[in-house]
A = this chain, B = another copy of it.
Amino acid sequence: MEQKVRFAIIGAGRIGQVHAENLTRRIQGAEVVAIADLVPEAAEQTARRFGIAEASGNPAEVIRRDDVDAIAICSSTETHADFITQAARAGKHAFCEKPIALRLPAVDAALAAVAESGTKLQIGFNRRFDPNFRGIRDAVRNGEVGAPYLVQITSRDPEPPPLSYIRDSGGLFLDMMIHDFDMVRFLLDDEVEEVSATGAVRVDPAIGEAGDIDTAIVTLRYACGALAVITNSRQAVYGGDQRVEVLGSLGSVLCENNTPDRVIRQTEAGVIHAKPLYFFLERYLAAYADELRSFIRAILNDTEVEVTGSDGRAPVVLALAAEKSYREKRSVAVGEFSP
């Protein structure tokens, strides 16, 4: 008999629905027992859509259910750390969306609860499961680029999120670039020691008025001495643009954007290729399922998860260092933040 991990999903928003669809339809070893949202109607609607038996307005109750093995935390960022802690205390494994929290004490409290309980925690850095980025990481690990010199990450969203979202997001470094800070660590299996950030408001003045930036460049120095640069823009009208390159002594490995097809039009207007897949939901469709498959395998085989709690903490530190660097117009040592 096939063994299944029984899930409860907390949060029925956009990303909660992505995981609900994957867990109910695309992934063999999973079962979704319940979904909870502080807005009970949202939970009910998603439950109906994906045939989930139980919908609840009370996450805490759902987390403690006996018939639940693992919690998928898809609620808003400020609730992540608390739900991780509740899950750990209830003896449940947790898969949690990034970031764990916007401030380190909250992150550390959650990680301590997990350490104490011995449950598993995986952070939702879905891009680690994208075949392009994984291919580049594997090439680096296989020694194909030799000694690393430079990492270059280009990350552009097709359009900025609503201002209401921006206001509570923690800012570009913690909300958007957090993925790239994780990618920096993923690609090289090394830690960053120094961060230097520049930012600007170019896309929409209202983003600046909301206290955030929409365009940024961050340079980083790894412990091994290699350098990295991340560029972010909240708007690329041709579609989400996510490219990564690692240059080293033996050459470089990079990736182009995924496209919906490989059709090319040759007309008087030019030789026209397809635009990149529009946004993360399209681009990372398979990666979202694969990260949960990986989490389920770690539970069923009782092995280490592929994206640990400390993998969730490190990019928060880098984002905080970037913020500080941006404000103080100087290079910031990661050591300025307690380990």
Q: Is the CB of B202 within 8 A of A149?
A: yes
How far, in angstroms, from A39 to B147 measured CA to CA in the complex?
41
Q: Which of the listed residues A236, A253, A255, A271 has the most CB atoms from chain B within 10 Å of its own CB? A: A271
Q: Which one, A66-74, A225-233, A290-298, A303-311, is touching chain B?
A: A225-233
Tell me if A167 is interfacial: C-beta within 8 Å of chain B: no
Cβ 8 A contact of A270, one of B152, B200, B275: B275
How many chain-A residues does the 8 Å CB contact rule pick out?
A: 71
Distance (Å) between the CB of A155 and the closest chain B CB?
Answer: 11
Q: Is the CB of A226 within 8 A of B200?
A: yes
Interfacial chain B residues near A201, Cβ < 8 Å: 225
Give the docked Cα–Cα distance between A227 and B238 (Å). Answer: 20
A135 to B273, CA, bound (A): 12
| Beta-carbon contact of B331 and A263 below 8 Å | no
Contacts of A253 in B (CB 8 A): 263-266
CA distance A331 to B271 in the complex (A): 35
Name A249-264 residues within 8 Å CB distance of B: 249-264
Residues of B within 8 A of A254 (CB): 263-264, 266
Nearest-Cβ distance from residue A53 to partner chain B, whole angstroms: 16
Knowing A255-B261, A266-B251, say if A198 contacts B331 (CB, 8 Å).
Answer: yes
- Interface stretch, picked from A92-100, A121-129, A215-223, is A215-223
Q: Is the CB of B202 within 8 A of A268?
A: no
Rounded to whole angstroms, the CA-CA distance of A236 and B252 in the bound complex is: 8
A152 touches B225 (CB 8 A): no
A267 at the interface (CB under 8 A from B): yes
Q: Is A196 an interface residue (CB 8 A)?
A: yes
Check if B131 sits within 8 Å of A260, measured CB to CB. Answer: yes
Q: Is the CB of B227 within 8 A of A217?
A: yes
- Asked if A144 CB lies within 8 Å of chain B CBs, one says yes
Q: Which residue of B lies closest to A247 (CB)?
A: B233
CA–CA, A139 and B264, complex, Å: 10
Q: Are B132 and A262 in contact, CB atoms less than 8 angstroms apart?
A: yes
A139/B241 contact (C-beta < 8 A), A150-B217, A272-B272 known: no
Given A231-B229, A238-B271, A271-B238: A132 and B252 interface contact (C-beta under 8 Å): no
Cβ contacts under 8 Å, A256 to chain B: 262, 264
Known: A147-B202, A219-B217, A237-B251. A263 touches B330 (CB 8 A): no
30 A-B pairs, CB-CB below 8 angstroms? A131-B261, A132-B262, A135-B263, A136-B263, A147-B202, A149-B200, A149-B215, A150-B202, A150-B233, A152-B154, A196-B331, A198-B219, A198-B221, A201-B225, A217-B229, A235-B249, A236-B247, A238-B266, A238-B267, A250-B268, A251-B265, A251-B267, A255-B261, A257-B262, A268-B275, A269-B269, A269-B272, A271-B274, A329-B330, A329-B331
Residues in chain A within 8 A of chain B (CB atoms): 25, 28, 131-132, 135-136, 139, 144, 147-150, 152, 154, 156, 194, 196, 198-203, 215-217, 219, 221, 225-227, 229, 231, 233, 235-238, 241, 247, 249-276, 329-331
